[in-house]
């Protein structure tokens, strides 16, 4: 299989996805999220609820699939030891920095502004945050180290998956040979079977672990088990796709068909939402949850396959701007939340509708975070991480 130079379209997908992630988090303060965010706007735009549901149903799974695709090549080049050291540096350093510095600082600002803690000294708050002596919005069990990594749960999962991949390769040291043409990509019937199986497994898991129920697995792995079947399966698909060259060999007709499936699922949800009948449930042993899980599985498979082929057929070239933006997408993912929260605070007193504030924060946060990330990547130590 030819190298990364034939996969320029993946850069455009990553840029589009990271922009969507920024928009998703920009909306957390202005839509009915039902969970904690670092800033609270007094008014909410209900339409953002549908925006959140559609986004969460596919965009991180597509990120996982792309990440899985490039994992085997990195291992092949570096070997087990160097590969693991590289993953620990690139993924572990941002996790520790945010865990010990950034997340406590953002929640400290939240407490001072919205929980009326007065002039609670940061050192005292910091102690409470980590040792469970005070109420925390990011709490699972009330004791350290069960504290969240915030949006970096994705990076934590990638690190866990990388360690598991190293173990797998040590057990199976001889990977499958890469054919120049790759193996036959999955047929529509096989994709359909996978999607149905994913829906069933997801439904079973969500009987006990509904959407947005977060747990501290082993005390330190931040995980929402409701999404594990979807995200893990697409990561594994990405790993398999690399050896079989599926990103390049997936037929155009297949991509068009599944893109239509995904877009139809999106239209279905927005239509039900606007009609006032979002017939879904986040979990439990009920019909609404079953319908939701089948809808989500078809939306995710449809958009992950369809967008991959759509970008490949139309954007498989490299421009200077896209190259530079793509190089910063990892740093953008890491640093975008503080930028978003800063902008949300900056316009907090503006007398505007929530949807307008959402648009303003999104349009400002995307270019600003790319600029900041580009600068950070030039710093001596950061070059080894980002």
Indicate if the pLDDT at residue 62 is higher than 50.
yes
Residue 114: pLDDT band (50, 70, 90) is: confident
Model confidence band, residue 49 (pLDDT cutoffs 50, 70, 90): very high
pLDDT confidence band for 294 (50 / 70 / 90): very high
Q: What is the mean pLDDT of residues 154-182?
A: 84
What mean pLDDT is predicted for residues 274-293?
89
Residue 132's pLDDT band (boundaries 50, 70, 90)?
low
d(CA 325, CA 163): 28
Longest dimension (CA), the chain: 65
Burial of 38 (0-12, 13-18, 19+ CB in 10 A): buried
Query: Pick from 363, 371, 360, 361: which is nearest to 331 by CA?
Result: 371
More confident residue, 8 or 220: 8
What Rg do the C-alpha atoms of the chain give, in angstroms?
21
pLDDT band (50, 70, 90) for residue 117: low
CA torsion sign for 239, 241, 243, 248 is: negative
Confidence at residue 6, expressed as pLDDT on a 0 to 100 scale: 77
Please state the separation of Cα 117 from the chain's center in Å: 32
- Dihedral of CA atoms 85, 88, 91, 93 in degrees, nearest 10, equals -120
- In this predicted model, which residue has the larger pLDDT, 140 or 355? 355
Strand pairing category for 215-217 and 221-223: antiparallel
| SS3 label, residue 119 | coil
Lowest mean pLDDT among 4-8, 11-15, 355-359, 370-374: 4-8
Handedness of CA 40, 46, 49, 52 (dihedral sign): negative
User: Which structure tokens are listed for 198?
Assistant: 């994913």
Give the three-state DSSP class for 148. coil
pLDDT score recorded for residue 145? 38
Q: For residue 354, say if its preceding peptide bond is cis, omega within 30 degrees of 0.
A: no
Does the pLDDT of residue 142 top 70, yes or no? no
Q: Which two tokens stand for residue 154?
A: 């994705």
Q: Model confidence over 37-46: pLDDT tens digits? A: 999 998 999 9
> 318 phi and psi, to 5 degrees?
-120, 120
What's the mean per-residue pLDDT of the chain?
89
Give pLDDT, residue 60.
Answer: 97
Residue 342 pLDDT exceeds 90: yes
Q: Which domain holds residue 265?
A: 4-384
| Total structural domains within the chain | 1
Which residue blocks in the chain are alpha helix, DSSP H?
8-26, 48-56, 59-87, 93-97, 103-114, 122-131, 153-171, 188-208, 228-244, 246-249, 252-274, 287-314, 320-327, 329-346, 354-376
Lowest-confidence segment of 170-174, 187-191, 201-205 by average pLDDT: 170-174
Per-residue pLDDT for 182 more than 90?
no
Phi, psi of 129 (to 5 degrees): -60, -40
Considering only CA atoms, which of 359, 326, 352 is closest in space to residue 11?
A: 326
Helix (H, G, I), strand (E, B), or coil: what is residue 31? coil
For residue 139, pLDDT over 60 is answered with: no
Q: CB of 326 within 8 A of CB of 19?
A: no
pLDDT surpassing 60 at residue 147:
no
Q: Are 295 and 282 in contact (CB under 8 A)?
A: no
Q: Phi/psi of residue 139, each to 5°?
A: -90, 145
How far apart CA 366 and CA 19 sit, in angstroms, is 6
Q: Identify the three-state secondary structure at position 37.
A: coil
pLDDT band at 216 (very low <50, low <70, confident <90, very high): confident
What does pTM read for this prediction?
0.92
């Amino acid at each position: 299989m030819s190298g990364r130079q034939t996969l320029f379209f993946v850069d455009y997908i990553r840029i589009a996805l990271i922009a969507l992630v920024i928009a998703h988090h920009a909306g957390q303060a202005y839509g009915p999220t039902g969970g904690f965010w670092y800033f609270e706007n007094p008014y909410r735009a209900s339409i953002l609820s549908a925006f959140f549901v559609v986004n969460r149903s596919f965009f991180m799974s597509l990120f996982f699939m792309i990440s899985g695709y490039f994992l085997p090549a990195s291992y092949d080049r570096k070997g087990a030891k160097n590969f693991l050291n590289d993953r620990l540096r690139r993924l572990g350093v941002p996790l520790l920095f945010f865990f010990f510095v950034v997340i406590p600082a953002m929640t400290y600002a939240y407490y001072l502004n919205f929980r009326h803690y007065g002039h609670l000294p940061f050192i005292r708050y910091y102690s409470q945050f980590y040792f469970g002596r005070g109420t925390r919005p990011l709490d699972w069990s009330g004791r350290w180290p069960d504290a969240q990594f915030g949006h970096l749960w994705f990076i934590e999962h990638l690190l866990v998956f990388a360690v598991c991949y190293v173990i797998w390769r040590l057990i199976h040291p001889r990977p499958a040979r890469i054919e120049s043409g790759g193996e036959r990509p999955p047929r529509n019937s096989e994709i359909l079977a996978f999607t149905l199986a994913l829906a069933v497994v997801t439904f079973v898991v969500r009987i006990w672990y509904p959407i947005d129920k977060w747990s501290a697995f082993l005390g330190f792995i931040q995980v929402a088990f409701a999404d594990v079947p979807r995200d893990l399966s697409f990561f594994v698909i990405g790993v398999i796709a690399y050896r079989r060259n599926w990103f390049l060999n997936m037929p155009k007709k297949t991509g068009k068909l599944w893109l239509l499936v995904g877009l139809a699922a999106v239209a279905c949800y927005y239509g039900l939402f606007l009609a006032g009948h979002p017939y879904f449930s986040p979990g439990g042993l009920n019909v609404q949850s079953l319908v939701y899980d089948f809808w989500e599985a078809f939306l995710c498979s449809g958009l992950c396959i369809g967008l991959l082929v759509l970008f490949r057929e139309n954007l498989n070239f490299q421009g200077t701007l896209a190259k530079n933006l793509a190089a910063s997408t990892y740093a953008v993912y890491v640093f975008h939340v503080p930028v978003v929260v800063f902008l949300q605070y900056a316009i907090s007193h503006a007398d505007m509708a929530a949807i307008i504030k959402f648009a303003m924060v999104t349009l400002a946060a995307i270019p600003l975070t790319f600029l900041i990330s580009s600068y950070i990547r030039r710093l001596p130590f950061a070059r080894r991480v980002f």
